[in-house]
């Protein structure tokens, strides 16, 4: 290995979190994780490294290439302290030394599950926690890698892209377009059932679409889960669990495991389709009684 080339420096900061994104990263494909560790210099992670402490980072003047933040931010020191200070103070100090700021997961992006703790009313994501002055030295807009948790591959792809091309195109919610232009629906093994409007009769089946009864948000959730697969092998919807829309701004919603309906019709229809068009289409599709789709896959 050529040691003369300086590896980009990464700092992973933890705010209000369950550590799910950390464990998602640690469960990444081993070769990818190794390449990542070889290509970047992960100088600080509160769960992992042994050489650097957060306090050292806060004091020293050295620049950070990538500041990765896991968890939601609060200014309330009563509820959250890290190394004797509020997380927003620590965050602001580190952002001023950083080139790129990346929100790891839905909590860091928009507040996520932790924002539901209403007794602390200023829990928010990075964008809302920082003002113009705080982010004035960043060379790129804040990147939101949403997901509860985030897929490790999304982290790798974003970091390697930035290393190579210095920027990634973002959508209006600050998420990399190449990841979040897809819908969770794309690549789902239940898609054929969706096309022909064959609903899953219940949980616990390989057959049927989870959109009609079980609350699946696959057709309206931006993510490429079914394109890159989780843990290299599966996804929630393939396994039989409805997509709960964990990459979206409004996660978590209420009644996530059931489909809200109006006179038997799903209240929300797939993204970009009018309700009327959807109903006509569904009506036509349902007239096709395809035996194959109403039987067990493996007989």
Residues interacting with another protein, by CB under 8 A? 14, 16-24, 26-30, 33-34, 37, 42, 46-50, 53-54, 78-84, 113-114, 116-120, 148-149, 202-206, 225, 230-241, 244, 246, 252, 254-258, 298
Contacts of 170 (CB under 8 A, 6+ apart): 141, 143, 144, 176, 177
* C-beta of 273 vs 297, nearer to another protein: 297
Q: Give the shortest CB-54-to-another protein separation in angstroms.
A: 8
CA 111 to chain CA mean position, Å:
12
* C-beta of 289 vs 296, nearer to another protein: 296
Q: Give the shortest CB-88-to-another protein separation in angstroms.
A: 13
Q: Give the shortest CB-223-to-another protein separation in angstroms.
A: 12
Distances 209 to 149, 188, 193, 217, 224 between C-alpha atoms, Å: 24, 10, 5, 11, 18
Q: Give the shortest CB-263-to-another protein separation in angstroms.
A: 19
* C-beta of 23 vs 166, nearer to another protein: 23
* C-beta of 168 vs 235, nearer to another protein: 235
Q: Give the shortest CB-159-to-another protein separation in angstroms.
A: 15
**Taking Cα atoms as reference points, which of 68, 198, 93 lies closest to residue 145?**
68
The span from the CA of 241 to the CA of 265, in Å, is 21
* C-beta of 74 vs 168, nearer to another protein: 74
The span from the CA of 99 to the CA of 63, in Å, is 8
The span from the CA of 269 to the CA of 186, in Å, is 15
The span from the CA of 118 to the CA of 244, in Å, is 21
């Amino acid at each position: 290995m050529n040691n003369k080339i300086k590896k980009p420096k990464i700092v992973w900061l933890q705010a209000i979190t369950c550590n799910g994104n950390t464990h998602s990263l640690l469960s990444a494909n081993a070769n990818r994780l190794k390449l990542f560790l070889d290509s970047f210099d992960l100088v600080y992670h509160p769960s992992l490294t042994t050489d650097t402490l957060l306090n050292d980072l806060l004091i020293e003047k050295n620049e950070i290439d990538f500041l990765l933040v896991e968890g939601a931010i609060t200014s309330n020191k009563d509820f959250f302290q890290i190394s004797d200070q509020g997380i927003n103070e620590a965050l602001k100090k580190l952002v001023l030394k950083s080139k790129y700021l990346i929100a790891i997961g839905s909590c860091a992006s928009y507040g996520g599950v932790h924002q539901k703790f209403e007794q602390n009313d200023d829990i928010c994501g990075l964008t809302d926690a920082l003002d113009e002055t705080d982010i004035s030295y960043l060379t790129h807009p804040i990147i939101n890698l949403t997901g509860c948790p985030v897929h490790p591959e999304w982290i790798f792809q974003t970091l390697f892209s930035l290393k190579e091309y210095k920027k990634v195109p973002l959508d209006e919610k600050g998420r990399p377009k190449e990841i979040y232009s897809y819908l969770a629906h794309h690549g789902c093994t239940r898609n054929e059932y969706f096309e022909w409007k064959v609903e899953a009769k219940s949980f616990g089946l390989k057959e049927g679409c989870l959109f009609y009864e079980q609350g699946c948000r696959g057709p309206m959730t931006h993510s490429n889960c079914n394109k890159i697969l989780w843990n290299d092998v599966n996804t929630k919807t393939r396994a039989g669990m409805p997509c709960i829309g964990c990459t979206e701004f409004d996660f978590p919603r209420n009644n996530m495991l059931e489909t809200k309906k109006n006179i038997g019709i799903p209240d929300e229809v797939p993204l970009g389709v009018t309700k009327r068009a959807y109903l006509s289409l569904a009506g036509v599709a349902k007239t096709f009684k395809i035996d194959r789709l109403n039987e067990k896959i493996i007989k």
